[in-house]
Amino acid sequence: MSCRAVPEPHRGRPGRPVAYRKPTTTIGGRLPAPEITAALVRGLLAGLFLRAVPAGPRWGVIACVRCRADRAVWAAPSDPAGHARQVDRFIQQHDHTQEP
């Protein structure tokens, strides 16, 4: 299953149109471990959103729109299985599909 993160517009100079960055990051694109990819897919199925971070050590951010919380997803964690458990814990805390 392949999903693309939603690109964010970056601000141009005044008087110029806002340009959109190409979505360069896909789930599993540069993630080192399949456990993290599986956790992100579970998050998408639970109604959470992914936001790409184009630079830096973070791969992206998984976010809950309803309560405005987010969690960083690292590109190369030292313990991929532990990081996947942390992402799963965030998903369980912000799974609003079971609420009325």
The 3 state secondary structure assigned to 26-42 is ECCCCCCCHHHHHHHHH
Whole-structure pTM value: 0.66
Confidence of residue 4 (pLDDT cuts 50, 70, 90): low
> pLDDT tens digits, residue range 10-61?
455 555 444 444 444 455 456 557 888 889 889 988 889 988 887 778 888 9
Distances (CA, A) of 41 to 17, 44, 46, 56: 34, 5, 9, 22
Beta-sheet strands, E only, within 1-100: 9-10, 19-20, 49-52, 58-64, 69-74
Residues 54-92: tens digit of each pLDDT? 777 888 899 998 889 999 998 788 899 999 999 999 999
